[in-house]
Amino acid sequence: MSETFDPQEVIARFAERAQAVRKRNLPAVGGEERRHFIRQAELDFMDYAMIGDSEATLVDGILTLRIDLRSSGE
**Distance, CA of 30 to CA of 65 (rounded, Å):** 38
Is residue 73 in a domain? Answer: no
pLDDT tens-digit map of 25-67: 888 888 999 999 999 999 999 999 999 999 999 999 899 999 9
Is residue 58 in a domain? Answer: yes
Angle between helices 7-23 and 31-52 (to 10 degrees): 150
3-state class (DSSP) for residue 44: helix
Is residue 2 in a domain? Answer: no
Q: What domain range includes position 60? A: 7-66
Give how many domains the chain has, as a whole number.
Answer: 1
Q: Is the pLDDT of residue 74 over 70?
A: no
- This prediction has a pTM of 0.77
Q: What pLDDT is stored for residue 29 in this prediction?
A: 84
Q: How far is CA 22 from CA 28, 29, 67, in A?
A: 17, 18, 20
Confidence of residue 2 (pLDDT cuts 50, 70, 90): low
